[in-house]
Each structure stands twice: as C-alpha cells, then as structure tokens.
Amino acid sequence: MEAKLKRLKEILAKVKDLQYAQAVLGWDQQTYMPAGGAADRAEQLATLAELSHSLFTSQEVGALLEDIAPLANDLESDHEDACLLRVTRRQFMKATRLSDEWVAEHARVTAVAQSVWEKARELNDFELFRPHLERIIELKRQYSSFFLPYDHVYDPLLDDFEPGLKTSEVQAIFDTLRREQVDLIQAIAARPQVDSSFLHKKFPEQEQWDFGVEVITRLGYDWKRGRQDRSAHPFTSSLGFSDVRITTRFHKNYLPMALFGTIHECGHALYDQGLAASLARTPLADGASMAVHESQSRMWENLVGRSREFWVFFYPRLQEIFPAQLGNVDLDTFYCGINRVEPSLIRVEADEATYNLHIMLRLELEIALMEGSLEVRHLPEAWNDRMEAYLGLVPASDAQGVLQDIHWSFGGLGYFPTYALGNLIASQLWEQIQSDVPDLDEHIRRGEFAPLLGWLRENIHQHGAKYEPQILVQKATGSKIDPQPYLRYLRKKFSEIYAL
C-alpha cells in the first residue's frame, strides 16, 4: 500500500512538473515572447497539455487510486495523504468522465468562438456571436450530463472552479446580497460625489513601478521566490513551487491602475508563496478554489490597500514621490478619491461597491441559459433589463453590454461567481482576523503586515487545496460563506465616505 502511494506521488509530481512547464511557457508568452513565437508556442502548449492529461488519466493512476482507496478510509480526514487522495480522485473522475469527442469539439468550438466574439464586439454585432454561444451552451449542458445525477444543471460548471459548492448555495447568498447592495448604491448615488481628479494626473511609469515594489515588499512578497514583469493583462502564475511571479501594467495618467493591480496580484502571490512545503509537487500545491484565491487578492487590494489605515502609513511616502501631483491633496481627500463609487457599464472598471452587481447579473443569466429558461437570442435584452434594475444604466450598445467579456466565448461558464464570492470571503475572514489579531488597525497604520500575513498563512495559505472552499471558510471563521460581513463592511465604509 505504501509503495503504491509512493508510486502515485511520483506520477503526480511529474504531472505537476508538466503543469509548471506550461506555466513557464504561458508566462513567457505574455511577457517576453516575440510575435513570431506565437504559432510554435500554441503547439508546444497543446503537446504539454496532452501529455500531462494522458499521464494523469493513465490506467496506472486509475488502478493505483482504486488500490489505495482503503488507505484513505483509515486516515483522519485532515491527514495530508487523505486530502491528497480525495483531491486526486476527484480530479481523476472529472478528467476521465468526459468523452474524447466532447473535449475535441469543445476545443474547436471555443477556439472559433473567441475570434468571432472579438469581431462581434468590434462590430457591435451580437447576431454574429449568437450561433457560437448557442453551440457553447449546448456543449455545456452536455458537459453537465457527464456528471449526472446533479442537483442543478449549473452545479458541474460551478464545481470546476469551486469544488463542492452548489448552485443553490450561491443563489441563496446572492439573493441576500442583491437587494441590500442595490439599496446601498442608490443611497450613494443620491449624495454629492467625491473628488478623484488628482488621480488622473501624469504619473511617470518608473516612479509608479518603484512605489509598487516598495509596497508589496513591505506586504511580504518574497522576491527570492518570485519576480514582477509587465504584461498587457496582469496575472499571477506559479512557475514552480518556489517561483511565484506577478505582472502589472501601467496607465501614465491614472495612478490606481498599476498600484491596486500590483497589490491585487501580490495578494494572489502571497497565497501561493505561503503553501506548506510538504505540498510541493502534489495536486494540493494550489489554492482551495478560485473564490478563495480571489478573497486573498481582494483582501490585500481593498480591505488593506483601500483602507484609511494603510494610507496613514503609505500616503506621506506617496506624496514624497509625487509632490507635484499629490502635495496639495490631503489624506482624507485621497482616501475618498480612491474609494469613489460610480455605477458604470464595464465590469473590469467597476468600483468596490458596484462590482458584485455586475457579477450577479452574469450569474443569473448563466443559470437561466443553462436551465433553458432564457434563450441566447433574448440575452441582450435580459442583460440590459438587469443593468437598469441593478445599476440604473442601460448600455448604448451590445459591445458595452452583453459582448464586453471574453469568458463565454472560451466556454468559461461558472467562472464569474468566483469573483463576487471572493469579495464575500475576504470580508468574512477580515472580521475573524479583527477579532483574532489584537490591534490589527494599529499594525497597519504602522506599516506592519506580518501579523495579518501570519494569520492568513496559518488559517488559509498553508492548507493549499486540502479542503473544499466551504470547509476551509468554516474552519477559519466558524461558518460557511456568508454575505453579512461583506454587507457590514460596505455599509460602514461608504456611510462614512458618503456621509449616508
């Protein structure tokens, strides 16, 4: 039994190596690769994906998992090997249940759909994209059918990003959230707007880069086990267990883009840099879920990086670097400016208070499409109706509405809710940290982040993918994912800023 477990771990280590190799190729593709390399790189990535898939789904792995199953029953459920077997069995089941035809067809359809979507957005022509999206929805329903029986047709999609989480749970959470968040935004909209014009001055790139580095170094980013580069879209990627890199991008006339983007990616990276060493080269060397990962990036970006305490420490330094731009802007004005709330059409530009409504709208539409209660041809109207109800805005064009995100075109249904859940989990953890870590606010005002990072390392990071997200959140906070802490956080913060 022990020998079989050892053999399984050897194979899993090689699968992990191949995944890291893909990460290296992907990182290079987005940072330094010359244009000519694109076609070759696609072939290389396809070959690596194929080999890693066939290595993981081999008969040998299947037989080993079956043979070792009794061992898992003997172990405590928290034992690392028990977790490893649980997660591996789950991934093996998911990887082997799909038909080869479905995998090939999905790859073909989404490859075409992505380029059609690009064109459709450019031409503001939803009809162009419609048949492709219809085919994708069909394929996604077929996908779910591989995992019958399920409680809800959307469950198998959600499960790819949030292991174990049910559609009904997410719906219950969002039902609570929806009305309260809409009310809050309407209350804010009725108040005078805060000033943020000073954020739109000229901020030279090198100084932005240097300040970002200074900030994340203090937050705890380990440069010996990572690095930062530029890319068109910021991302965090593990190129090895001890090689967790981030990227950022700059806007010369808008300070927040690079600054909060860098802190956001640092939040992801701190998670991956904090995994227990014993998880290296196993499937557990990963985050618990997309939402838990997002909770880390959002916590550092928003609960830390957009807090008054944070800027008590960093603002004098920022003013020193940009005296002409910020010398005459006081801390309170700056703090309100970086927290300005303004309903807008585009998700990726949304502020902290409106962001989740963009997500809810998408989730509701995805569920309706999967259930069949909404047809793709009625999607633009459904989108616009909800935008008006939630944010009081109607897009002037589909390009600014239903066509704005790439996700559906690559078949990423089930992905959106993780963004919003990440916000909720961040606030929920934050209340717990406030109660566990004495003087947390004072630490932050002094630029001391070790107590916060220590709590996260202990309660979240070290566990990697050992637990499903609901179980991990329960272990860390005593309850499952709960929207109330997030609502309390929003109400408190914005009541103050907008004098509600």
Preceding omega of 343 cis (within 30 degrees of 0): no
Q: Report if residue 6 touches a second copy, rule: CB under 8 A.
A: no
Q: Which of 3, 73, 151, 224 binds a second copy (CB under 8 A)?
A: 224
Name the segment binding a second copy (CB under 8 A); options: 47-55, 309-317, 382-390, 463-471: 47-55
Q: What phi and psi, each to the nearest 5 degrees, are found at residue 234?
A: -65, 145
Q: Report if residue 187 touches a second copy, rule: CB under 8 A.
A: no
* CA 457-458-462 angle, 5° bins: 60
- In the complex, minimum distance from the CB of residue 233 to a second copy, in angstroms, rounded to a whole number: 19
Six token digits for residue 19: 């995944």
Which residue in 162, 265, 352, 468 is the catalytic one? 265
Nearer to a second copy, 246 or 363 (CB): 246
Near a second copy in 257-316, by CB under 8 A: 280-281
Nearer to a second copy, 48 or 75 (CB): 48
Q: Which of 62, 164, 240, 412 binds a second copy (CB under 8 A)?
A: 240
Nearer to a second copy, 21 or 471 (CB): 21
Q: Report if residue 48 touches a second copy, rule: CB under 8 A.
A: yes
Q: Which of 8, 12, 18, 453 binds a second copy (CB under 8 A)?
A: 18
Q: Report if residue 44 touches a second copy, rule: CB under 8 A.
A: yes
Q: Which of 156, 163, 220, 226 binds a second copy (CB under 8 A)?
A: 226
Q: Report if residue 53 touches a second copy, rule: CB under 8 A.
A: no
Per-residue b/e over 429-438, b at no fewer than 16 CB within 10 Å?
A: bbbbbeeeee
Taken as a whole, the chain contains a residue count of 500
Q: What phi and psi, each to the nearest 5 degrees, are found at residue 245?
A: -105, 155
Q: Are 462 and 404 in contact (CB under 8 A)?
A: no
- In the complex, minimum distance from the CB of residue 448 to a second copy, in angstroms, rounded to a whole number: 24
Q: Report if residue 227 touches a second copy, rule: CB under 8 A.
A: yes
Q: Which of 5, 13, 128, 321 binds a second copy (CB under 8 A)?
A: 13
- In the complex, minimum distance from the CB of residue 157 to a second copy, in angstroms, rounded to a whole number: 31
Q: Are 490 and 498 in contact (CB under 8 A)?
A: no
Q: Report if residue 37 touches a second copy, rule: CB under 8 A.
A: yes
Which helix (H) or strand (E) covers residue 247, if one does? Answer: strand 243-248
Nearer to a second copy, 11 or 312 (CB): 11
Q: Which of 231, 242, 397, 400 binds a second copy (CB under 8 A)?
A: 242
- In the complex, minimum distance from the CB of residue 39 to a second copy, in angstroms, rounded to a whole number: 7
Name the segment binding a second copy (CB under 8 A); options: 26-34, 262-270, 348-356, 424-432: 26-34
Six token digits for residue 56: 């993981």
- In the complex, minimum distance from the CB of residue 41 to a second copy, in angstroms, rounded to a whole number: 6
291, HSE (Cβ side, Cα atoms, 13 Å) = 32
Q: Report if residue 81 touches a second copy, rule: CB under 8 A.
A: no
Q: Report if residue 223 touches a second copy, rule: CB under 8 A.
A: yes
Q: Report if residue 14 touches a second copy, rule: CB under 8 A.
A: yes
Q: Report if residue 458 touches a second copy, rule: CB under 8 A.
A: no
Name the segment binding a second copy (CB under 8 A); options: 17-25, 65-73, 181-189, 204-212: 17-25
- In the complex, minimum distance from the CB of residue 409 to a second copy, in angstroms, rounded to a whole number: 26
Q: Which of 36, 70, 149, 327 binds a second copy (CB under 8 A)?
A: 36
3-state secondary structure of 20: helix
Q: Report if residue 211 touches a second copy, rule: CB under 8 A.
A: no
Q: Are 280 and 241 in contact (CB under 8 A)?
A: yes
* CA 184-187-193 angle, 5° bins: 115
- Pick from 303, 217, 220, 212: nearest CA to 257: 212
Name the segment binding a second copy (CB under 8 A); options: 13-21, 71-79, 118-126, 198-206: 13-21
Torsional class of 413: left (φ above 0), alpha (ψ -120 to 50), beta (otherwise): beta
Per-residue b/e over 183-220, b at no fewer than 16 CB within 10 Å?
A: ebbeebeeeeebebeebeeebeeeebbebbeebbeebb
Name the segment binding a second copy (CB under 8 A); options: 31-39, 67-75, 126-134, 319-327: 31-39
- In the complex, minimum distance from the CB of residue 85 to a second copy, in angstroms, rounded to a whole number: 22
Q: Report if residue 9 touches a second copy, rule: CB under 8 A.
A: no
Q: Report if residue 21 touches a second copy, rule: CB under 8 A.
A: yes
Q: Which of 5, 51, 98, 312 binds a second copy (CB under 8 A)?
A: 51
Give the Å distances, CA to CA, from 444 to 29, 215, 239, 274, 360. 37, 12, 31, 20, 32
Q: Report if residue 213 touches a second copy, rule: CB under 8 A.
A: no
Per-residue b/e over 310-345, b at no fewer than 16 CB within 10 Å?
A: bbbbbbeebbeebeebbeebeeeebbbbbbbbbbeb
Six token digits for residue 100: 């080869």
Say how far apart CA 410 and CA 293 lie, in whole Å.
Answer: 21
Q: Report if residue 60 touches a second copy, rule: CB under 8 A.
A: no
Catalytic (active site) residue 265: yes
DSSP string computed for 178-243? HHHHHHHHHHHHTSPPPP-GGGGS---HHHHHHHHHHHHHHHT--GGG--EEE-SS--EEEEETTE
Q: Are 293 and 422 in contact (CB under 8 A)?
A: yes
Six token digits for residue 120: 């459709």
Which residues form the catalytic set?
265
Contact residues toward a second copy (CB under 8 A) are 13-14, 17-18, 20-21, 24-25, 27-28, 32-37, 39-41, 43-44, 46-48, 50-51, 55, 222-227, 229, 239-243, 245, 280-281
